[in-house]
Amino acid sequence: MASPVVEVRDLAKKFGDRTVLTRLNLDIGRGEFVALLGRSGSGKSTLLKVLAGLDQEIEGTTSVDGTVSVAFQQPRLLPWRKVWRNIVLGLRQDNDRAVAEKALAEVRLAEHADKWPLTLSGGEAQRVSLARALVREPDLLLLDEPFGALDALTRLAMHRLVEDLWRTHQPAVLLVTHDVDEALVLADRILVLGEGHIVAEHVLGQPRPRKAADNAEVRSRVLADLGVTEGAPA
């Protein structure tokens, strides 16, 4: 892989006596879209926090070559600032309405610039959160279950939007999700986290836009990695 954006070597993370990550190695290429799956409690969010620089009490080495933006499951907008001000908050041009409007247009919310965050639907708030992440033109975009709280139709629309935004801005993406189909549709590579490190990797070569059904074989393998038997109740 030519000059990866993310290089993690022998990462270990403990909370007290509890080891959550151990002997974890990971490379993410520039512009690569990687999905991270793993059972609840396997350490996915912990790894994202380390990569975001929010947790530095670690062993091993991690390096991120460039800027990082994060979008979480909850959009985390400041309710006392209008939508457009949330977008540019913390930027050097934090008064630049034109910058905010351009970002809002990209997520198809141009007409919502002057709204208050609490008047937005869940899907709209999540799109504002994406615009806020992308306006920083990150080299690495960390997405922690950003669509988990949305209804199924909104989630499908978000997949298309994220794919478009990814193509336009070309960040490397690390998407944490519980949704295997989401990973199959969006990712270049699916990683499975277990026992503190990456226990399986699946490379997806199919052209986009994709349907999850295009990848039935990988789907079965990922589900098996996660310990799910197809046909059995979830």
Ligand X SMILES: Nc1ncnc2c1ncn2[C@@H]1O[C@H](COP(=O)(O)OP(=O)(O)OP(=O)(O)O)[C@@H](O)[C@H]1O
Minimum gap (Å) between residue 54 Cβ and ligand X? 11
Looking at residues 16 to 45 of the shown chain, list those that interact with ligand X (rule: CB under 6 A): 20, 38, 40-45
> How far apart, in whole angstroms, are the C-alpha atoms of residue 131 and residue 138?
11
Is residue 15 a contact point for ligand X (CB under 6 A)? yes
Minimum gap (Å) between residue 41 Cβ and ligand X? 4
Minimum gap (Å) between residue 43 Cβ and ligand X? 4
Q: Please, which residue, 17 or 217, has the CB nearer to ligand X?
A: 17
The structure tokens listed for 215 are: 């990848």
Q: Please, which residue, 47 or 68, has the CB nearer to ligand X?
A: 47
Burial of 115 from C-beta contacts in 10 A (0-12 / 13-18 / 19+): middle
> How far apart, in whole angstroms, are the C-alpha atoms of residue 126 and residue 108?
12
Q: Please, which residue, 29 or 73, has the CB nearer to ligand X?
A: 73
- Report the SS3 class of residue 191: strand
Minimum gap (Å) between residue 38 Cβ and ligand X? 5
> How far apart, in whole angstroms, are the C-alpha atoms of residue 200 and residue 52?
23
- Report the SS3 class of residue 146: coil
> How far apart, in whole angstroms, are the C-alpha atoms of residue 147 and residue 29?
24
Residue 127, C-beta contacts closer than 8 angstroms, at least 6 positions apart: 107, 108, 109, 158, 161
Q: Please, which residue, 15 or 80, has the CB nearer to ligand X?
A: 15
Q: Please, which residue, 24 or 87, has the CB nearer to ligand X?
A: 24
CB 133 within 8 Å of CB 71: yes
Minimum gap (Å) between residue 101 Cβ and ligand X? 34
Q: Please, which residue, 43 or 117, has the CB nearer to ligand X?
A: 43
**Site residue total, ligand X (CB under 6 A):** 10
The structure tokens listed for 190 are: 């699916």
**What is the CB neighbour count within 10 angstroms for residue 94?**
12
Minimum gap (Å) between residue 106 Cβ and ligand X? 28
Q: Which helix (H) or strand (E) holds 151?
A: none
Contact map string, positions 41 to 80, toward ligand X, x by CB under 6 A = xxxxxx----------------------------------
Contact residues for ligand X, defined by CB under 6 A? 15, 20, 38, 40-46
